[in-house]
Amino acid sequence: MGALFPRWTNSFSRAAGAVVLATPAAAIAGLMLYVRSPLNTGERNPVGQPVQFDHRHHTADEGIDCRYCHSTAETSPHAGLPSTATCMGCHAQLWNKSPKLEPVRAAYFSGQAIRWNRVHDLPDHVYFNHSIHLAKGVGCAVCHGRVDQMAQVQQAVSNQMAFCLECHRNPAPYLRPPEKVAEMDWQPNRDPEELGRELMQKLDVRARTSCTACHR
């Protein structure tokens, strides 16, 4: 027999067997990885926009507060997007010949809102609310990353259930004084756990893990 089939075929068929056995497992593992991967969760996936709006120019460089444009973040479930009138408040004078701002002028004079594409979009079966997070001292950067350094906003975290729950189980280390929520580079000046525990007490923050908190 040994003469009919060279020795390498033995190890070849063993290797082939291992591949066949491993394939279903690999396929499942692959799927499991995929659903959690940035490819599927939309993380770090730039979304095209009708105007090349750059957060770096409008936040870091100009020092405009996030809430100037996302003005309902502290009072409602939705952070909201600025109206064209808000843009024109500056751009009627500033860069008023810029071709990049042509769609903004067109929208303003026609009264048709600019149709921004959504970057974050939770499924309908999930309830989210900005105002409670800001009132309890969760900063924008915790969930959105350093938007002030993004030429184009991208989703910075997965926004999958595990991300929400990780903090809901033990919010302490993520909390800051509520007046600092829009500060992108805020850092605790002492042990975050200890500061967090104090804030939990002061702001009456509880762990919220019941399903109905987010699925109503």
Given the complex with ligand HEC, which of 14 and 215 has the nearer CB atom? Answer: 215
Q: Is 176 in the site for ligand HEC (CB under 6 A)?
A: no
Closest CB 24 distance from ligand HEC, rounded Å: 22
Q: Which of 107, 108, 153, 199 binds ligand HEC (CB under 6 A)?
A: 153
Touching ligand HEC, residues 94-133 (CB under 6 A): 94-95, 98, 100-101, 104, 116, 118-123, 126-130, 132-133
Identity of the residue numbered 207 = A
Query: What is the rounded radius of gyration, in angstroms, for the C-alpha atoms of the chain?
Result: 25
Tokens 């762990």 belong to 207
CB-based contacts of 140, cutoff 8 Å, min separation 6: 66, 73, 147, 181, 182, 184
Q: Is 213 in the site for ligand HEC (CB under 6 A)?
A: yes
Tokens of 74: 């502290």
Closest CB 112 distance from ligand HEC, rounded Å: 14
Touching ligand HEC, residues 7-26 (CB under 6 A): none
Given the complex with ligand HEC, which of 147 and 195 has the nearer CB atom? Answer: 147
Closest CB 151 distance from ligand HEC, rounded Å: 9
The beta-carbon contacts of 53-61 under 8 Å, at least 24 apart in sequence, are 54/151, 54/152, 55/147, 55/148, 55/149, 55/150, 55/151, 55/153, 56/148, 56/149, 56/150, 56/151, 59/147, 59/148, 59/184, 60/148, 60/149, 60/184
Do 36 and 158 form a contact (C-beta atoms < 8 A)? yes
Closest CB 29 distance from ligand HEC, rounded Å: 18
Q: Is 195 in the site for ligand HEC (CB under 6 A)?
A: no
Q: Which of 107, 108, 136, 176 binds ligand HEC (CB under 6 A)?
A: 136
Tokens 């033995």 belong to 10
Closest CB 37 distance from ligand HEC, rounded Å: 12
